Structure 1
Amino acid sequence: MKLFISPGACSLSPHIVLQESGLSFEIEKVNLKTQLTETGAAFTEINPKAYVPALLLDSGELLTEGPAIVQYLADLAPEKNLAPAHGTLARYQLQAWLNYVSTELHKSFVPFFHHGSDDWKAEGKENLETRYAYVNQHLATQPYLMGENFSVADAYLFTVTRWLRVSKLDLATWPHLAAFQTRMTERPAVQAALTAEGLRS
């Protein structure tokens, strides 16, 4: 398998999951401005959506969209317990968290990355404050989103929360979330992904 990434982007989430899974994989970086991969390939010919993450399977098929990719990877390594079993309520709760991070957190950062207007940024900041307050409260009684154990939803939350600096919001506002970020950073798989993407000094 090959995961196409842009360092620090949302593709960090499946990259972390791959590191956690123990599966064999390679990564290829994409310059999202030029739409060229680090080997010189035209990324839009690989993924017409023109954004990361994109997972090229050994069969030649392409899987896109982070929440789908991380669940696929979790199911390839069931012994790692990265996602609850299909058909269980816990699996739907995991999907609920993946959707929350995607639509309520990830999308609220868009105006900060795409030169949004001051009004749009203010709206995004307000949304983030409200949504992160909810996450912080949830993490007050458990170390991870799904309870005592890491899941693929945590990789996604960790990834987007790293972007807080662009919104000028202070992580310290949410102590339980801050503790979660520290906890995640200490995981060997997270450290390996950050190192591979050049995000650690």
Structure 2
Amino acid sequence: MDDGRAVISVLLADDENLIRAALRTMLDLEPDIDVVAEASTGDEALSKARAFTPDIAVLDLQMPVLDGVEVAERLREHLPNCGVVIVTSHGRPGYLKRALSVGARGFLPKTTSASTLADVIRKVAAGGRFVDPEIAAEAISAGDSPLTPREADVLEHAAEGASVEEIARRVSLTPGTTRNYLSSAVSKLGAANRYEACVIARRFGWI
């Protein structure tokens, strides 16, 4: 039955096809939410957003080419009326602060229930904001990270013992660019090497 609510058009962007399909299936059950487009990379998300001008863009934090924060930053410039909700499996404080600084109005983990995501979409569409309380508390306690999201990303993979080539493959960068990010992270943290940088960053909750 029509309850009188306006329909909210949504763009879904996630490079994992199964997750994106599951999100669409769940959101399609909501009578006031219409998924009008999907994307699997950051640049495709921008292209689809320009083509469909959705009310809300639900963006995966980590995508090839452009990550969710970078897409949010460009949407603020080109489609300021499009509200951005970022979903992530990596709730690092640095990502949250950067996302909010570029205009994202929702930030929540991928473990969030479908009903909560739908409610957040409605809240953001109405001009409100929502940040997952647990992620927000971690961000407050961690303080400001000197690392950019990309630096934190490559450093986290380095902490797992991955080689430069493997890190580059995982984060969709060239080995040279990956080395530059690692070098920058080591320098910013005042560490002797990438392994010491990982220890420092983890101590402060930045990765």
TM-score, length basis structure 1: 0.25
Highest relative contact order (Cα 8 Å, sep 6+), 1 or 2? 1
Of Structure 1 and Structure 2, the greater strand share is in 2
Which of structures 1 and 2 has the bigger CA Rg? Answer: 2
